[in-house]
Every structure is written in structure tokens, then in C-alpha cells.
Amino acid sequence: MNITIIGSGYVGLVSGSCFAEMGSHVTCVDIDPIKIEKLNNGIIPIYEPGLEGMVLKNVKNKTLFFTTNLNEPLENCDVAFIAVGTPMGEDGSADLKYVLSVAKSIGKSMQKRLIVVDKSTVPIGTADKVKFTIQKELDSRGSNLEFDVVSNPEFLKEGAAIADFMKPDRVVIGANSEVAFKIMKQLYSPFFKTHDRIITMDIRSAEMTKYAANAMLATKISFMNEIANICEKVGADANQVRIGIGSDKRIGYNFIYPGAGYGGSCFPKDIKALTKIAKENDYNAKLITAVEEVNDAQKLVIAQKIVKRFGENLNGFVFGIWGLAFKPDTDDMREAPAIYIIKELVKRGAHIKAYDPKAIPEAKDQYLKDVKNISYVDSKYDALKESDALVLLTEWKEFRSPDFSRIKLLLKNPIIFDGRNQYNTNDLKEIGIKYYQIGKK
């Protein structure tokens, strides 16, 4: 099948690589000539485990191509995916200008019957706008070409996106025609050897499914963090409570780890967008609003613990930071708790020594570029030299079982502030390290 994917960012690049891996002829299109040049030279602009090898393999096999020119791949295209960004507007809504710009370009360039797929996370009703935009361009051309607009939301976890795409829990397809359902099922059939996990529905329900899924997961995170904060007040241990409730199969263990809050490109943006969608339809989404409010406050809990221990004025204090990315196995720092915690400490006069296996370039170039009182180091232990405390903010594997004796030796004060609850309190107590975590006094 000939596939065109417009937008070669995270979703577009992963999707295109995986479709090519299964034998489709895929062309990824992007308006950024520098990005396309890098991709054609084998330079992958994002970090995602397994992605680089898959891209290079399929480029070599001539099943994956990159270009800035949309016209040529659309000539023989069967399915065109819109995978451009939907940045958050000032009012919290998803900005559709890139999506509709692509739709306009498709209407101008398509040469045959086409399935147009919304892969980007978009508000309910976007497919109607995409359809109207394409049809308007076709009418201006005097063309009677037929097309379908499909909603096919992505459910990729950063750090595990390749596995998620190659072995999906489900593939949601929203369409209004049997032709569209048939072609989409053919496209995804190689990914299901034993069990068909394709779920078909109407377009608006598919658009809503993506928002509902992310809102549910974000709700579990904020709920557990609120329970953790209550645990601290009453003398309970949030980690033990987590085990107690997670053993209930109706609840499960996923997404109920106390921590410094959620970040990334999806949850914060989608929660705001869903709240805005509800408001535009005369509904006050109280629970979803509270999820966001709890998370915003949670991002500063570790900073508050540091201030309580060292005082309001942090001039002269140095803190070693382990982890900048919003989660492990990615270099993504969008809305990462580390941003808020570091800025709060620096605002009070502290100096930061930061280490992350992948995200330091992102911090330097974008998210912490205006923060002056910060230095970056090449290893986790370098961050601890002459530091007053260790602050753990991302649960990278290399942080799971460190040399605690070495940590104690390097730090001025044997203190760990853990925003991800990685360690055993009793183990640290035995070697004389003071341990502050989420959800326990």
C-alpha cells in the first residue's frame, strides 16, 4: 500500500517507520527542510528506543522516504495521514491551523480516490472541518474526486512507541464508509497475527476516545498523588497504600505511582483541550479541571520539601539533579516537573548541577536556556560533587540501583529528595542517608 504521512515529528516518524517495516511504501513529508535533510542523511531528530535502527533499515530497503514536496507522493497515494502538531492555544484549546493547512494542501494535490486519516490528537468535530477544507479545494479545481476522512488516534507511549505500534493493544478507527473501514483494516492487518484488535466506530467517538484515554490515565496519576499527600498528613505510607489498592484487579498497578506529577506532550495539552471542549458545549468538567489543578501543585511538592529542609533562602546551596526528561527513555522535556522544580530552586538562589542520559541538549537549547544558575555534567555522580543534596526527578534505569555509599561520600549532606519514590527507606536509613519522598513523612 502507498502511504503518505504529513508531519515527520514524533507520531509521524514512528508511524511511518512501522508501516514501512511491515512492507508498505511510505513517504514522510515535512515543511522543515533541515529536518528532512537530516532524516535523509540518517540523523534522527528525536530519541526513541529502536527508532533509529528501524528508520535506517527501511530507508536502505527503499520502503521509507522523506521529502518536503507533498505533490509527488500524493500522485499514487492510497492513504494520507495527517500527523502534524496541534499546539495548545492561549485559551487551552487545540490549535488546528497546521491540520487544516495540510487538508488544504491535500485538496490541491490529490490525484485519485484517497483515504485521509487524522492521526494527530484533535478536538471532536475536526474530521468535519478537514472534509470541508478538502472539498472546498476540490470544488475550486472543478474536481469530482472522492475521498474519506478517518479518525485513527494514536496511543503511543514515549519510550515504548515502537513496541506500542508494532503490537498494539487496540487500533481505533472512526469512519463513515465501508470502503474506508476496509482499506484501514487492510493497512493494519499485518500487525495482528492472532487476535484482531481493531475497534471500529463513528468518527466523533474515535476523536473522543483519545481524549478520554489520556484523561483517565492523568486522573489516576493525580488521584494517587492526592492520596499520597493525605498519607503524609496522617502518617501513612503511600507506597504501601499503592500496593494495597493495586492488588484489586479493578484498579491495577499502572499509573498509581506517587510522584512529582505528569508532563509530556499529551496529558497536559489534552486535559486542557478536553476542559475547553466541555466548556464550549456548556458543561463544567469539574473532575478533569481538578486533575489539572492537582498536577500543577504536585510539580512543586519536592521543591517545597527542599525549602522546608534548607530554608526559604537557598543562596550558597547546590543541588544535584538526576533526570530532566518528563519520563525515562525519552529526551522530551515538555511540561516536565524538572523544569518547574529547577526554576523554583534557582529563584531562591540555589545552584543546580544537572544530569540526564538524553535530555541535556533539550534543556540547554530550549526548556532551561534562560536559567543562568545551572551547570550540566556528564555522569550522575558528577552531579553530586560538592552538592548539598540529591534530587531525583526521572526514573531512568541507571538511577534505580546506585552506589549509596558513594552518594553519601560525594554529597556535603547525605540527603536524597526523591520525586519518583525509587528507593527503600530502611536501606538508606541503615547507611545514614536522610530520605525524603512523596507520600511519607
**Residues with catalytic function:** 266
Q: Are the C-beta atoms of residues 433 and 407 closer than 8 Å to each other?
A: yes
Q: Taking the CB of residue 143, how many other CB atoms lie within 10 A of it?
A: 14
Q: Please tell me the distance from the alpha carbon of residue 131 to that of residue 140, in angstroms, as a whole number.
A: 14
Name the burial class of residue 374, with classes exposed (0-12), middle (13-18) and buried (19+) by CB atoms within 10 angstroms of its CB.
Answer: buried
